[in-house]
Structures are given as C-alpha cells and as structure tokens.
Structure 1
Amino acid sequence: MDQLIVDTLVLDAARIDVDRIHSEFTEATARTDRLADAVGHAALAERVQAFADNWDHRRSELAEQLAVVRDNLAVIVDGFSQTDQELAKALTEQADTYPPRMAAVPV
C-alpha cells in the first residue's frame, strides 16, 4: 500500500461530536438538580438526587477523558492539514521547475 488517505473532515466531525458529548457530561449536574426539583414528589426527588450524586465522580472522570480525546483529535486534524498543505506547496514548487533544463549537447 503506497497511499495514506486521511479524511480530516471526518476526524474534525468526530472532534465536534466528542466536544458535544463532553458538554453533555459537564452540564449534566445542573440539569439533574433541576430535574430533582421538578419531579414534585419528595421521595422521588431524593432518589433522583442520590443517583446524580453517585454519578458525579464517574461523569467527571469521563468528561476528562473526553476532553483528552477531543484535544487529541484537534491535534491530529491540525497536523494532517498542515502536512497536506506543506506537501501540496512542495509539489507545486517542484512542478514549476520540472523537468529540469538539460545542458545543450554539442553536435
């Protein structure tokens, strides 16, 4: 295999999706607090709040891991995009001087 094809649009879309998931995890606590207040039944509100409290730590860990994945995807997209631009520039510059001029051969 002599080709490397990297679809940076797909990678960037994945980064955006991971960022959205990260936001959902980091904002979940506020929504759960509102849900507990909205259920209207004290015992159910306590259960909802207990569930949310139990998940706070795990959600925090997952949010940190998602942030790492998101940041790594951004670095990958930037790296491949920059490399692609540099290679395209090098090929364009090479095309301007190709084929090399040959010295005149005396006859």
Structure 2
Amino acid sequence: MSNLVVSYDELHEIKKNFGTLKREFESCAANQDSMAEAYGHDSIKFAMEAFADSWDEHRKDLMKQMGDVEKRVRKTIKSFKEADGEKD
C-alpha cells in the first residue's frame, strides 16, 4: 500500500498565485480607460472600446473561475491537514 504525499508548500503557492492573478485581472480594467487617448484615430478608439467591453465580460468569468479554484485549493489544504491530524 502506498502513502499519499501532499506538498503543502506547493498547494499554498498555487493558492497564492490564483489570488495574485485574480487581483491583476481586477486592476486591469482601470488601465483600459487611461489608454483611450493614446489610440489616436476615433475608429481605433471605438474598436478598442468594443474589444475592452467584450474582454470585461470574459475577464469577469475568468476571475470567478480563478476565485473558485482558489477556494477549492484552500479546502483541499484544510481537508488534507484534517486527515493528517494537523490544525490550520
């Protein structure tokens, strides 16, 4: 019978990375507005705004999914620690 070996360091790193990614995705919306004047021509500006609007929806979906994965990793850490008889 083999033993399952869990790397808590790696699980904590994964959780941290998803948190960082989620924060980056949250802050990128602020950058979109500041770039509008740099586009120059109105047709480019309108095209970039349309792209940004579409990206906002996809970004929100991705942020939710990243948050869900982060929660699952947190629960995984907790479950393994409980199985190992450790406290968090």
Same fold (TM over 0.5): yes
Who is 2:33 aligned against?
33
CA RMSD of aligned residues (A): 1.8
Which structure is larger by alpha-carbon Rg, 1 or 2? 1
Asked whether the equivalents of residues 18 and 66 of structure 1 are also in contact (C-alpha less than 8 Å), the reply is: yes
Amino acid in the other structure paired with 1:58: H
Who is 2:3 aligned against?
3
Task: Report how many aligned residue pairs link the two structures.
Answer: 85
Q: Write the mapping of 1:1-107 to structure 2, written as runs, cut at 5 A.
A: 1-37=1-37, 39=38, 41-43=40-42, 44-84=44-84, 86=85
Runs of 4+ in 1 over 6 A off after TM superposition: none
Deviations 1:17-74 (Å, cap 9, x if unpaired)?
Answer: 111111122222111111224x161423333222111111111111111100011111
TM value normalised by structure 1? 0.68
Q: Structure 1: which 5+ residue stretches go unaligned?
A: 88-107
TM value normalised by structure 2? 0.81
The sequence identity of aligned pairs, in percent, is 25
Asked whether the equivalents of residues 22 and 67 of structure 1 are also in contact (C-alpha less than 8 Å), the reply is: yes
**Larger relative CO (CA 8 A, sep 6+): 1 or 2?**
2
* Larger CA deviation: 61-70 vs 19-28: 19-28
Shift of residue 14, structure 1, vs aligned partner? 0.6
